[in-house]
Amino acid sequence: MTPSLRLVFAGTPDFAARHLTALLASRHEVVAVLTQPDRRAGRGKKCQASPVKQVALSHHIHTMQPETLRDGTVQQALRDLQADAFIVVAYGLILPKAVLDMPRFGCINVHASLLPRWRGAAPIQRAIQAGDSASGITIMRMDAGLDTGPMLAVTTVALHPTETGGSLHDRLAQVGPPALLNVLANIDTALSNATPQNDAQASYAAKIDKRECPINWQEDAASIARRIRAFNPSATCFSLLDDARVKFWVATACTEASSALPGTITSIDRNRLVIACGNGQLVVTSAQFPGGRAMDIAALINGKGAHLKAGMQFKTSVIADL
């Protein structure tokens, strides 16, 4: 078993913070934390520390928030830490070769997909959107490419038919920390047995673009339902009903055909809202009107019943319309 390691942790969102918390509870020593600079967020646009920074400060860990890691002064500060390894989880900044080569065991990354499938920024969402049957965690040693390094460990999880981006995020955030600790416990063996990725099997998980959120009702219902689940809760899919932007939170597809125009409400009851699509129909069980919160259809009817009737038609919109 590898003795206690001196680690520098680099990460930013909640997914990364859960891995940092696990490392802080382990026998390893986290000597410094790298995280993105504070950003303005929320309705008040107040400057907020990242979840990783909040964890680091609560444990009195030295925290660095550089705008770039290409700066020579920053690189020297990292070099002076004499870390055995850098642990990188959803950090958000590129690590130049000078940084990748610093620690003796290299930079170890936790990636939320079954590499080489879904390299890139949004692997959780893209796996669900594509209809994959499985996802998982890959621990790899980073190289100069984008999520292209040799794999040290892979943990697979099956995707549920009702999986959302939020539920898969939370499941992988539980799987990742023990997988990482297991690699660190046997780091020499893990590195010597590393498996190169097959680039021919690679796919890219592009960052979610807000232009993907408006629903195109000409698409097939299964594709729309998967996107709604994948983007929940990070980038909610929506459509216009008259002038109201209605957000869709939970939906499934049914193959029953409809002669109604795509976007038309074909039926509504206390359990579901059914909308015609280019192929099949979308069955919505949770939605949200402007100024309100996400509700199941029964609650929505109680509050917005006059605004939801069979025969009404949602509009296919683009961001530029809004």
Per-residue pLDDT tens over the stretch 125-168: 999 999 999 999 999 999 999 999 999 999 999 999 999 999 99
CB atoms within 10 A of CB 271: 11
pLDDT-based confidence at 320, cuts 50/70/90?
very low
Q: Judge residue 281's burial from the number of C-beta atoms within 10 Å of its C-beta, 0-12 exposed, 13-18 middle, 19 or more buried.
A: buried
Rounded to a whole number of angstroms, the distance between the first and last alpha carbons of the chain is 57
Domain with CATH 3.40.50.170 in the chain: 6-205
Over range 3-15, report the average pLDDT: 97
Q: Which of these, 247, 253, 255, lies nearest to 231 by C-alpha position? A: 247
| pLDDT digits 0-9 by tens, 213-263 | 999 999 999 999 999 999 999 899 999 998 899 999 999 999 898 999 999
Residues 134 and 159 sit within 8 Å (Cβ to Cβ): yes
The percentage of the chain sitting over the pLDDT mark of 70, rounded to a whole number, equals: 97
306 pLDDT above the threshold of 60: no
315 pLDDT above the threshold of 70: yes
124 pLDDT above the threshold of 50: yes
pLDDT-based confidence at 270, cuts 50/70/90?
confident
> The tokens of 111 are what?
């990636």
Query: Alpha carbon of 1 to those of 27, 53, 110, 289: distances in Å?
Result: 12, 30, 21, 55
Query: Alpha carbon of 207 to those of 32, 121, 161: distances in Å?
Result: 28, 5, 23
Domain with CATH 3.10.25.10 in the chain: 211-321
**Residue 123 amino acid letter:** P
- Alpha-carbon distance of 107 to 90, in angstroms, equals 13
pLDDT-based confidence at 301, cuts 50/70/90?
confident
- Alpha-carbon distance of 169 to 87, in angstroms, equals 19
pLDDT of residue 99: 98
303 pLDDT above the threshold of 90: no
CATH 3.10.25.10 correct for 211-321? yes
Fold (CATH) for 6-205 = Rossmann fold (3.40.50)
Residues 228 and 251 sit within 8 Å (Cβ to Cβ): yes
- All residues at 6 or more sequence positions from 60 whose CB lies less than 8 Å from its CB, including other chains: none
